[in-house]
Amino acid sequence: MKTRVPGILACASLLTAITALAAPPALAGVAPAVSTDVTAGDIATLIAPDGSRKALPTTEHLQATTTGGVTQWSDTTVVSVRMNGNTVAPLNTSGGCEDDGSISVTSCLTQNWTQQTVNGLRYVAVQSYVSKWIRHDTTVAWSGATMTAAAFGPTTTSVFINKVETKSVGTPTSGASYTQVPSWHSYWVLVQGSQHYQCGTNHINLAHGSRHWVLDHTHVCQGSQD
């Protein structure tokens, strides 16, 4: 039976960006680097004390560096919120993971991977996920940070991966990077089609005064989930 991860959705915007960046294989010794920012869909959610859920705007920073004919991809999604008393306002985040003085909390989630095409099908090997939480406002308390990696699909070696792994971070240090390496990182997993994917999420609990929220950074994803 297929294992489902709450909050992981199809990510057509990212796949569109990858297609736009795709280029013929580089020659050995040539190392071009390309990058783009795209406005992602609703891939972050703020859960209020009353249980209501609010989709948050995010920005995706997609980079590719090719060396010796091998392209390394790195995709970072960024979501920020500003807290003021008992209210929380989502913010459009055009920059990266830095403190601009106007944001209460920023959550960043990066997926690092390489890809190959076999018989016309796209396979991805995810080396790692990196999470970073930045607390610009010290009156905001946070706790219970976690990272989750998931994969579902056949591999180039005929092994079928159907796994979910969660790493507990607890109370993160603001601005520190936390890395999760999936146990299947050496496998090329099929991510083409409507069912197969490699995805990561992170999660943190926020408090301001007597009010509490949950910030779910829903996913950074290759492939999709039906």
Q: Can you give the pTM of this predicted structure? A: 0.78
Cα distances (Å, whole numbers) of residue 119 to 105, 113, 192, 212: 44, 20, 12, 50
pLDDT in tens, 97-154: 655 555 688 889 999 999 999 999 999 999 999 999 998 888 889 999 999 999 999 9
What are the boundaries of each domain within the chain? 30-223
Structure tokens at 95: 């920059």
Q: How many residues does the chain have?
A: 226
pLDDT in tens, the chain (226 residues): 333 343 333 333 333 333 333 332 332 332 333 444 444 444 678 787 778 887 777 777 888 888 877 788 888 888 877 776 555 554 544 445 655 555 688 889 999 999 999 999 999 999 999 999 998 888 889 999 999 999 999 999 999 999 999 999 999 999 999 999 999 999 999 998 778 999 999 999 998 878 888 888 877 889 874 3
Q: Which residues face 194 on adjacent strands?
A: none
Alpha-carbon torsion, ordered 198, 57, 97, 64, to 10 deg: 50
How far apart are the C-alpha atoms of 187 and 159, rounded to whole Å?
Answer: 9
Please, are residues 150 and 160 in contact by the beta-carbon 8 Å criterion?
Answer: no
